[in-house]
Structure 1
């Protein structure tokens, strides 16, 4: 039987280290480069476009449908290959709204993409300076195409270095860090990066862990899932 495929609405929360770009952006705008988007993973993964993760800071909060509509219009108008999601960034006491970009073939496209969003009515925060390497907490919301390998085990159909494993309860930020550290200390398999997430499927909200690794199969993911459950319920 073929694995079940579906589109889901995903919320992803993680820590990130970011730094503002100085060039190749709309003059006066604030665009952060993610310096270490997968801190728990140290093996080489595909580079180039896959290594670019950017946050284009918005001038205000826009409804998700406005971001989606603008993105779709840009994709229809231009032959650009990129992935966009809505993001919320907290740096200290500063909260910022953003569009998260990835899969850019080159940084040379950033200013052009910003200009295209402006034409769609999406404006960017101007003349705000945040310098140096900054520790940020980010929340990303987007739609994903998933393939169910087994009950509670899902692979990202568009990028198979990402998977999602269902866990039995919600973990707040502090609990997730503690449990994930516990899992890592007791894991002797191929390394991976983990982030807290949730998604809606058939009217139900599922608590999940986003896994990134270059080793993705059902047995590998089930072993990680089993260890998470053991540490959650100990």
Structure 2
């Protein structure tokens, strides 16, 4: 029987967000990750849209606050969505947002807006984002520890994690990924940094996405990261 581990933490990405322009009553600013898992799929992702959707808010809302009313939002949409809080960094500024995954389709975004406004969420009408931004998503994790320091995600398919000693700066992290991919020792993958809080301490993680994900692959990548 799988033992579920429930944790809260963050995933940090450097990605491209594109505005979603919709004909809805309130002209709020909504953006979507246009190239999710870019290091795996290349610049033409094969995942079905919608992907990660960001609704920008006038103030920051904590993860616990969103979880408190997420069940009523899901009921309103008649679908099971994945809701999290986020900060988007662009041009030296930070913009609070609500990140939504597993969203049914674009046509229901207006309904989502109404649901969230009923919870006194106020949205931003217009912002300017750089071509590439930093997103910090605070979310709940449900993991299975398959071996010490190696985990599989029990909510999102094809995702796993391994523990590293520290956080890498963006340039160092990108260079490490490029070196591992160039060597071709491990299977094709996409990687991002993350962290969870467990047992009174912060644990740094590397999140791996791959349709060929298994323990051997996680161990291969962990070994290559430790070398670098």
TM-score, normalised to structure 1, is 0.88
The answer to whether the 8 A contact 1:48-1:105 is kept is: no
> C-alpha deviations, 1:85-138, integer Å up to 9, x for none?
111101222321101111112111211111101101111112x1538x721110
Task: Extract unaligned runs of 5+ from structure 2.
Answer: none
Q: Please give the alpha-carbon distance, in whole angstroms, between the structure 2 residues aligned to 1:26 and 1:177.
A: 41
Partner of 2:19: 20
Displacement of 1:193: 0.6
Task: Extract unaligned runs of 5+ from structure 1.
Answer: none
Structure 2 residue corresponding to 1:130, chosen from 119, 128, 131: 128
Q: Please give the alpha-carbon distance, in whole angstroms, between the structure 1 residues aligned to 2:78 and 2:99.
A: 19
Structure 1 residue corresponding to 2:222, chosen from 210, 222, 225: 225
Structure 2 counterpart SS, 1:190: coil
The answer to whether the 8 A contact 1:18-1:136 is kept is: yes
Displacement of 1:76: 4.4
Answer yes or no: is 1:215 the counterpart of 2:207: no
The answer to whether the 8 A contact 1:160-1:216 is kept is: no
> C-alpha deviations, 1:202-232, integer Å up to 9, x for none?
323111101111011111111111111111x
Q: Please give the alpha-carbon distance, in whole angstroms, between the structure 1 residues aligned to 2:195 and 2:25.
A: 33
Q: Please give the alpha-carbon distance, in whole angstroms, between the structure 1 residues aligned to 2:96 and 2:127.
A: 15
After TM superposition, the structure 1 = structure 2 runs for residues 7-86 of structure 1, keeping only pairs within 5 Å, are: 7-23=6-22, 25=24, 27-42=26-41, 47-48=47-48, 52-86=51-85
Superposition misfits of 4+ residues, deviation over 3 angstroms: 43-47
After TM superposition, the structure 1 = structure 2 runs for residues 166-181 of structure 1, keeping only pairs within 5 Å, are: 166-181=163-178
RMSD: 2.2
The answer to whether the 8 A contact 2:76-2:115 is kept is: no
Quickly say closer, same or farther: Cα 1:18–1:78, change in 2 above 3 A: closer
Structure 2 residue corresponding to 1:202, chosen from 199, 203, 219: 199
Q: Please give the alpha-carbon distance, in whole angstroms, between the structure 2 residues aligned to 1:119 and 1:190.
A: 46
The answer to whether the 8 A contact 1:71-1:117 is kept is: no
Q: Please give the alpha-carbon distance, in whole angstroms, between the structure 1 residues aligned to 2:56 and 2:76.
A: 23
**Larger mean Cα displacement after TM superposition, 204-213 or 64-73:** 64-73
Q: Please give the alpha-carbon distance, in whole angstroms, between the structure 1 residues aligned to 2:205 and 2:221.
A: 12
Q: Please give the alpha-carbon distance, in whole angstroms, between the structure 2 residues aligned to 1:149 and 1:86.
A: 28
Displacement of 1:77: 4.8
Structure 2 counterpart SS, 1:134: coil
Quickly say closer, same or farther: Cα 1:135–1:46, change in 2 above 3 A: closer
